[in-house]
Structure 1
Amino acid sequence: MAESLQSPVDAVDSNALELVDRASAAAAKGELLVILDFDRTLTSNFMPDGQRVTSAHGILEVASVLSETFKSKAQELFRKYYPIEIDEKMPIDEKVPIMHKWYGQVHELIMKENVTKDNIAGAVSSCKTIRLRDGMLDFLQSCQSHDPVIPV
């Protein structure tokens, strides 16, 4: 008779456990770098009241860090690409390269805006509609308090 699972770890893919072991070893040697996507990975989709959170690009737009020309061009790209992003019938392997193209085009526009770290810090600190997912603040603080610090 099969033994029941005693721990959530019992159900984890052995490749995932190997990855965690390698990451732990790399962190101990100061060789770990955490790369995270911002929108909807670190942040929640909704505020506690149910309002949608502002996207990373949206924070800059709301704070008037980005020009009207940028906003117009970005909106044009949004109208073109967003229907593709939410198309449930399009296979992921077709969708992903198109999404990369969209994000690349938006980032090119942002680079032309000469946005500074101070602009970003000010925009984020003034935004009232952004919320980290549960546990993310602890995760980020853990990375920063690790010896050596794990760059994020």
Structure 2
Amino acid sequence: MKKILVPIDALGLNEKTFNYARDLSKLYGADILLLNVVSSNNMASRITPNITMYNNYFDNIDMQDTFKISNQILENEKLKFTSVGIECSIKSDIGNIALVIIDVSEEEKVDMIIMPDKSDSAIKHFLLGNITDKVVHHASVPVLVVK
């Protein structure tokens, strides 16, 4: 195992997921790739696509600022790995979160994906599907889901 992909959200990496990624990285000598995906399809606009208020709000978000925030989150999380001697790189992207995770795992030729199981609400799961479920079922590499 040479590379592990660890997707993180805006809240960063939870301790349990970090511990698994750190331990497996050290065990196999694998590098870590941290990925933050800025969603291109927010729930509000998918539920109510014709409401101008939502569309105008999301159209006016400065993507450059969004990526600055994303990169800052990634840099903060990267420090956790580099401080314990693990090679770590970061990547920000935009799009459908599950699809981007799967695409990046293939492009970067990762050997494993480690991600937390987010307990989404039933309505969100019904409307959008669960990101973790999509990655588990469609990734071409093993996915470790940390509960």
If the TM-score is normalised by the length of the shorter chain, which range does it land in?
under 0.3
| Higher relative strand content | 2
Larger C-alpha radius of gyration, 1 or 2?
Answer: 1
| Higher relative helix content | 1
TM-score, normalised relative to structure 1: 0.26
